[in-house]
Chain A
């Protein structure tokens, strides 16, 4: 993971410092859930879309 680039503002402003600190801290722990593969989520979404398309198809064939 790329750490804070040189082009980020470097001021004494607390918000700038907080931003830099968070960007440096972000991604440090690879075991947290948000850093895991999103593939299972995409598969789950595909199942929902598949079910919706199936229902739409049945409705169009049966009711239209």
Chain B
């Protein structure tokens, strides 16, 4: 007799191959909307929301952030989500046409670093949050908080394993509850802030000038735009994994723009930003208690923390899926890869403070690579390949494949990614937030992405033509226009 869980695991493992129409899980607007909302509005949004007032003008910051998330999301949808929807494969497989079969390893590495990094940060926030709530409810002294953090963190690991082992469908079902609940909480929180401060006062206060990143208002807008764009572009490695399960074309834009970008990211981050500037902290433990009192506040904080677990599950799911791209794990079972993806999180439980102070930096640098890759894959698919991929060749791992390039790597794309990363760090330091004067016109991510796309197009035109169109994959699309 077959084990249904193991069967589902095999199905998930086999699903690196294209998802067929009957296997697509997101069949309604609501199911996709709530999954994207739950992913965007999880606990990490307080870190982003807390940074918005630092631009110097909260109102300008929120508007710039909203515009940035919409523009960044649109670019991600064009670059990877639509090809993934069409061909039923994830972001890593889509990137192989541009980066090369082996060159896509850079995207796998970025996805694993960023996915595990943000899952670790969220786990640390949830564990510390639950410990603080429990310590407050039990009137415990500070010495017992750390053991509670460890206990909560270690309890979450097997829970994540059990949920992710059952595959995306279970996570999707949980998100049907988490998504609306997070949406409701964000609206209630905003209404409470509104009631306390009134519409005129709510958007007025700013951080003191000495604490602001800049006094130049155009640069302040560029900072906010940058926060929004980078937040959206960091979704690049995950979007393919979700869109390959989307059934209908009519749901390709609305759910991600409304649920992922405007409600999940912008509304939730704006509430955290307004709370931070009015009540001194973006941490919901502080402002929800201040707004609703200690009893209701702690209950709501507990709910927020609980609702962040499905988003962590999604990240672990993406990491476990991407791990199949690594040769030693290519034929491993789904359960093995889920164990390998959750195991590093146990280390987080022992070092939550260290995780929060260091891993955010690692995850931030891990996401840098995707700014250039987003531009490269976008022009490769829509301009060079005219919106067509040779699907079987994404799975050919030898020189007979059309996306093999030289040694399995498209060195033109690698050079462009390296140049894009260097240009980004030249313009803007995402950790210290120090920026060059040119940053004030459009931030750093958008110019770097556009520059990478143009550089890639030019280099592909020059080098592929010189090579006599030796690569059949490129010959098909007639590089050189």
Contacts and interface: CB of A to CB of B under 8 A. Distances in A.
Contacts of B391: 1-2, 23, 26-27
B292 interface: no
Contacts of B59: 63
Contact of A5 (B60, B77, B392, B397): B392
A59 B221 contact: yes
B21 A7 contact: no
A38 B249 contact: yes
B396 interface: yes
Interface string B65-79: 011001100100110
Contact of B253 (A14, A26, A48): A48
Contacts of B20: 22, 25-26
Given A52-B71, A53-B67, A41 B249 contact: yes
B85 A18 contact: no
A12 interface: no
Contacts of B88: 26, 34
A44 B82 CA distance: 13
A64 B219 CA distance: 9
A33 B248 contact: yes
B252 A41 contact: yes
Q: Taking chain B's interface residues, is the majority helix, strand, or loop, or is none over half, making it mixed?
A: helix
Interface residues of A, number: 43
B400 interface: yes
Given A7-B396, A29-B21, A33-B248, A63 B217 contact: yes
Nearest to B22: A32
Contacts of A36: 249
A27 B13 CA distance: 21
Interface in B385-417: 387, 390-393, 395-398, 400-401
A20 B369 CA distance: 32
B63 A55 contact: yes
A17 B394 CA distance: 16
A13 to B, nearest CB: 7
Interface in B20-59: 20-21, 24, 57, 59
Contact of B74 (A18, A49, A60): A49
B119 interface: no
A39 to B, nearest CB: 9
Contacts of A13: 331
B21 A32 contact: yes
Contacts of B221: 56, 59-60, 63-64
Nearest to A15: B14
A49 to B, nearest CB: 5
B71 A49 contact: yes
Contacts of A18: 14, 17
A8 B393 CA distance: 8
A38 B78 CA distance: 10
A45 B78 contact: yes
Contact of A38 (B14, B63, B217, B387): B387
Given A8-B396, A22-B17, A45-B77, A64 B217 contact: yes
29 contacts: A1-B391, A2-B390, A2-B393, A4-B392, A6-B400, A7-B400, A8-B392, A8-B396, A14-B10, A15-B14, A15-B331, A18-B14, A22-B18, A23-B395, A33-B247, A34-B21, A34-B85, A34-B86, A36-B249, A38-B86, A38-B387, A40-B249, A41-B82, A41-B253, A42-B82, A49-B70, A49-B71, A59-B67, A64-B217
Given A38-B387, A48-B257, A53-B71, 6 more contacts: A7-B398, A33-B248, A41-B82, A42-B82, A59-B63, A64-B60
Shortest Cβ-Cβ A-B pairs, 9 listed: A7-B400, A52-B70, A22-B17, A32-B21, A56-B67, A64-B217, A19-B17, A52-B67, A44-B253
Interface of A: 1-9, 13-15, 18-19, 22-23, 25-27, 29, 32-36, 38, 40-42, 44-46, 48-49, 51-53, 55-56, 59-60, 63-64
